[in-house]
A and B are shown apart, each in its own frame.
Chain A
Amino acid sequence: MSKNSSVKNRGMRGRTLLQSVAVWALVIAVSLIFAFPCVWLILSAFNAEGSLLTLDGFFPSAYSLDTYIKLFTEKVEHDYVRWFSNTLFVAAISCVISTVCVLLVSYTMSRYRFKSRKQMMKATLLLNIFPNFMNMTALFVIMTQFNLLNNLWGLILLYSSGATMGFLVQKGFFDTIPSSIYDAAILDGASDLRVFVSITLPLSKPMIVFTALTAFTWPWSDFMLPKMLLPDKSQWTVAIGLNWLDESQFSVFAAGSVFIAVPIVILYILLSGYLIQGSAAGAVKE
């Protein structure tokens, strides 16, 4: 009896050992797949020569800081500083407007019952299927008529309205807040705005962080809309600028990418807890 169980035990232990070896091997492999292109890009940015063809195998043969110096001092060929500040301007302002709009709309849609509410949600769903850049011609014509071509504010308006269309995720989150919490406050005579500010917002911190983060990253990393609406080089954002560089300027691309990616990577790593909670909260429905 005891012998039998020890054999079984050993078998179990062997299996769990095998299992943990497999898990560790897989985790390390996955991490390598994700990390390798990043490491490659970062090291390429320090390449002493600019072209892609000068790489020795995967990595540069000589390292230097020249590319970074060139990145921030060059003004004629590629005005990276200008592109960067344009991107930051658009992303920061769209982030604020989008977050306010999305939170208000999703809260309203979740808490209030009014005429044509269901129709509005269905319409949103339909409109979301039609991405903005699918009607590039129309957007171009309309923005020209509004004098918003080559204008960063045109982009900001487009991002804000586009982000607002994605309110269904946040609505899913607000749906999970029980209405009994509100009833008490309304009995105490609190106004709607007051209820929203002092009850709903504190309860939905992860959702706010999630919303703001996604509202910031879209303009920060979008390519299509700026490509279409900013033909003038001085108004370019980093995305268009970097895409415009070719293989001979590969290390400039790499260095510029590092600068655009690092802030957002740090933000995401710091806030990854919120990210997990936020994306799950919006989706979980039973």
Chain B
Amino acid sequence: MKKSGQEKNRLPYQVKLSCAFMGLGQLFCRQFGKGLLLMAVEIGFVLFLIFAGVENIVGIFTLGTKEAVPIMGIEGDNSVKMLAWGITTVFLCILFGLVYYANIRDAAYTAEEIRKGNRVRTFSESCRTLIYGKFYFLTLSVPILFVCVFNIMPIVFTALVAFTNYGGEIVPPKLVDWVGLANFGLIFTVSEYAVTIVKIFGWNLLWAVVATALNYFGGLGLALLYNAKCLRWKRFWRIFPVLAYAIPGFITLTGFRFLFSDGGPVVGMLREWGWISEQFTFIGFDSKWSLRLLGFFACAWISVPSVMFLATGILSNVNRDMYEAASLDGANAWQCFVHLTLPFVLFATMPVLLNSFIGNFNNFSIFYFLRPEVTYDTVNYFYANNTDLLINWIFNLTVDKKLYSLGSALSMVLFLFMAIVSLVVYMRSPSYRKEDTYK
């Protein structure tokens, strides 16, 4: 206790100066280049705050106070724009805080060096340490900036919109307001939303589980099939799944839509053979299970090959001795598969399985492309259809019906659910816990 007090007393004056104003301490350490640069950054930031920043941050709280009256030529506040710039300003403040912290750390470091009697680093030396000593800083800073702007900022924006009444009638030039948890309350209490969300969630869960299992075991089965000893021209046969893998998804799905549409060849053929009634449609206003099954088929067609590649690569790493030992002990092919191949592959592909589940849960494109016109089943659903997944519903609400706040609130609920599921799975996965096995 006493010692730390003494340390505090001995806090070098350069550090105090750097705390007071960025770069000042560095100047007193005779690091002029760095000091001036840091001072310029602080001056720039303060100027930014004075001219725009403070206003932007206040804007987040008020979301605009002056409503526009176009007839009288009064230009009002644009709440949405204010929200976007407010978030940007907060991000900049956090960034500035980090730089400020680094500046104090740097001053402390240099002061310590001076106390020890070492020579102070020149500006070019500092630059070199940054490049060579902290390689990770160099490689990560630009990507992190990108990710902050294009991935994190939109998420923050969506999260904030979920607590406003933005959407429907209330879009700029009208003023948007904070409404707290009202949107979340709406989703779970108003019966038409609640019924829709329960129905869609049930189907969505079923879809994700079945589609993931279908892709996974289909891919594994295909990999084993193409590995069979009696099969020749393996490279030739593998071209077909590559074909399916390579064709862009929107082409495949639109192709399937044409193939199975009412005027398309498959329905025509089946009708001619008398296998289906005249009313039957794959892709129609009220087709439910036929379209769902078609969705599973299309999803498998697209995704099975990628799992197959993965499994083929993994199977080539399987230790052959295990199988020899097993067959000496009298195990048949099926037993070998269940007790040797499956555990090995499952273990190796746990993270992929998780990603595939998340991808399928949010598989927007399948039913977006398969059902051509936006038609809503207004009896049973609120702006949704019997094949829509949650993500499709969110799309309908935001893009088609412009109910932004409601869509954002739903996005947040969906995000929370997926985040909990995957964090739990990920933390338990061996690849996270034993990352350094190979090192």
A interface residues (Cβ-Cβ under 8 A, vs B): 16, 19-20, 23-24, 26-27, 30-31, 33-35, 37-38, 40-41, 52-53, 55, 57-58, 101, 104-105, 107-108, 112, 114, 122, 125-139, 141-142, 145, 157-158, 160-162, 164-165, 168, 172, 175-176, 178-179, 191-193, 217, 220-221, 223-224, 228, 239, 242-243, 247, 250, 253-254, 257, 260-261, 264-265, 267-269, 272, 275-277, 279-281, 283-286
20 contacts between A and B (CB under 8 A): A19-B230, A27-B226, A34-B243, A40-B265, A52-B258, A105-B140, A122-B423, A126-B419, A127-B151, A131-B364, A134-B391, A134-B414, A161-B143, A192-B135, A223-B365, A243-B250, A257-B254, A267-B246, A269-B242, A280-B313
Interface contact B246-A261, CB-CB below 8 Å: yes
Q: Could you tell me the distance between the alpha carbons of A191 and B231 in the complex, rounded to whole angstroms?
A: 50
Tell me which residues from 203 to 227 in chain B have a Cβ below 8 Å from any Cβ of chain A. Answer: 222, 225-226
How near does chain B come to A137, taking the closest CB pair, in angstroms?
Answer: 5
Interface contact A134-B146, CB-CB below 8 Å: no
Residues of B within 8 A of A242 (CB): 250-251, 254
Q: Could you tell me the distance between the alpha carbons of A256 and B40 in the complex, rounded to whole angstroms?
A: 54
Interface contact A239-B230, CB-CB below 8 Å: no
Pairs A-B, 3 closest by C-beta atoms: A280-B313, A221-B248, A285-B431
Interface contact A108-B439, CB-CB below 8 Å: no
Q: Could you tell me the distance between the alpha carbons of A254 and B264 in the complex, rounded to whole angstroms?
A: 14
Interface contact B310-A279, CB-CB below 8 Å: yes
Interface contact A34-B348, CB-CB below 8 Å: no
Q: Of the 9-residue stretches B14-22, B27-35, B155-163, which lies at the interface with chain A?
A: B155-163
Which residue from A134, A217, A228, A286 sits with its C-beta under 8 Å from B248?
A: A217
Q: Could you tell me the distance between the alpha carbons of A128 and B132 in the complex, rounded to whole angstroms?
A: 31
How near does chain A come to B105, taking the closest CB pair, in angstroms?
Answer: 12
Interface contact A162-B243, CB-CB below 8 Å: no
Q: Could you tell me the distance between the alpha carbons of A220 and B431 in the complex, rounded to whole angstroms?
A: 31
Q: Could you tell me the distance between the alpha carbons of A173 and B322 in the complex, rounded to whole angstroms?
A: 25
Q: Could you tell me the distance between the alpha carbons of A179 and B438 in the complex, rounded to whole angstroms?
A: 9
Interface contact B362-A131, CB-CB below 8 Å: yes
**Given that A34-B241, A138-B158, A175-B435 are known contacts, is A261 also in contact with B247, CB under 8 Å in the complex?**
yes
Q: Which residue of B has the minimal Cβ distance to A250?
A: B258
Q: Of the 9-residue stretches B44-52, B79-87, B178-186, B284-292, which lies at the interface with chain A?
A: B79-87
Interface contact A30-B243, CB-CB below 8 Å: no
Interface contact A283-B395, CB-CB below 8 Å: no
Which residue from B84, B154, B228 sits with its C-beta under 8 Å from A132?
A: B154
Q: Which residue of A has the minimal Cβ distance to B149?
A: A161
Interface size on B, residues (CB 8 A): 103
Which residue from A35, A141, A164, A239 sits with its C-beta under 8 Å from B147?
A: A164
**Given that A217-B248, A261-B247 are known contacts, is A269 also in contact with B239, CB under 8 Å in the complex?**
yes
**Given that A247-B258, A260-B248 are known contacts, is A130 also in contact with B415, CB under 8 Å in the complex?**
yes
Interface contact B155-A279, CB-CB below 8 Å: no
Tell me which residues from 2 to 59 in chain B have a Cβ below 8 Å from any Cβ of chain A. Answer: none
How near does chain A come to B42, taking the closest CB pair, in angstroms?
Answer: 24
Residues of A within 8 A of B251 (CB): 41, 221, 242, 257, 260-261
Residues of B within 8 A of A257 (CB): 247, 251, 254-255
Residues of A within 8 A of B306 (CB): 279
Which residue from B228, B411, B415, B422 sits with its C-beta under 8 Å from A23?
A: B228
| 0 or 1 for each of B313-356: is its CB under 8 Å from A? (1 = yes) | 11011000000000000000000000000000001111110010
**Given that A250-B258, A279-B306, A285-B430 are known contacts, is A157 also in contact with B150, CB under 8 Å in the complex?**
yes
Q: Does B165 make an interface contact (CB < 8 A)?
A: no
Tell me which residues from 97 to 119 in chain B have a Cβ below 8 Å from any Cβ of chain A. Answer: none
Interface contact A283-B140, CB-CB below 8 Å: no
Q: Which residue of A has the minimal Cβ distance to B265?
A: A58
Q: Which residue of B has the minimal Cβ distance to A53?
A: B263
Q: Which residue of A has the minimal Cβ distance to B156?
A: A138
Residue of B147, B237, B259, B364 most packed against chain A (CB within 10 A): B147
Interface contact B140-A108, CB-CB below 8 Å: yes
Interface contact B431-A165, CB-CB below 8 Å: no
Q: Could you tell me the distance between the alpha carbons of A112 and B158 in the complex, rounded to whole angstroms?
A: 34
Interface contact B263-A52, CB-CB below 8 Å: yes
How near does chain B come to A159, taking the closest CB pair, in angstroms?
Answer: 9
Interface contact A133-B364, CB-CB below 8 Å: yes
**Given that A141-B157, A178-B439 are known contacts, is A283 also in contact with B248, CB under 8 Å in the complex?**
no
Q: Does B153 make an interface contact (CB < 8 A)?
A: yes
Residues of B within 8 A of A23 (CB): 225, 228, 230-231
How near does chain A come to B100, taking the closest CB pair, in angstroms?
Answer: 17
Q: Could you tell me the distance between the alpha carbons of A52 and B264 in the complex, rounded to whole angstroms?
A: 7
Interface contact B415-A286, CB-CB below 8 Å: no
Interface contact A221-B259, CB-CB below 8 Å: no
Q: Could you tell me the distance between the alpha carbons of A175 and B230 in the complex, rounded to whole angstroms?
A: 36
Q: Which residue of B has the minimal Cβ distance to A23?
A: B228
Q: Which residue of B has the minimal Cβ distance to A19?
A: B230
How near does chain A come to B388, taking the closest CB pair, in angstroms?
Answer: 15
**Given that A138-B157, A284-B314 are known contacts, is A31 also in contact with B242, CB under 8 Å in the complex?**
no
Q: Could you tell me the distance between the alpha carbons of A145 and B150 in the complex, rounded to whole angstroms?
A: 13
Residue of B222, B250, B305 most packed against chain A (CB within 10 A): B250
Residues of A within 8 A of B147 (CB): 127, 161, 164-165
How near does chain B come to A41, taking the closest CB pair, in angstroms?
Answer: 5
Q: Could you tell me the distance between the alpha carbons of A245 and B272 in the complex, rounded to whole angstroms?
A: 28
| 0 or 1 for each of B268-285: is its CB under 8 Å from A? (1 = yes) | 110000000000000000
Q: Could you tell me the distance between the alpha carbons of A269 and B168 in the complex, rounded to whole angstroms?
A: 49
Q: Could you tell me the distance between the alpha carbons of A53 and B267 in the complex, rounded to whole angstroms?
A: 12
Q: Could you tell me the distance between the alpha carbons of A24 and B226 in the complex, rounded to whole angstroms?
A: 10
Residues of A within 8 A of B305 (CB): 34
Residues of A within 8 A of B83 (CB): 141
Interface contact A265-B151, CB-CB below 8 Å: no
Interface contact B398-A137, CB-CB below 8 Å: yes
Interface contact B136-A127, CB-CB below 8 Å: no
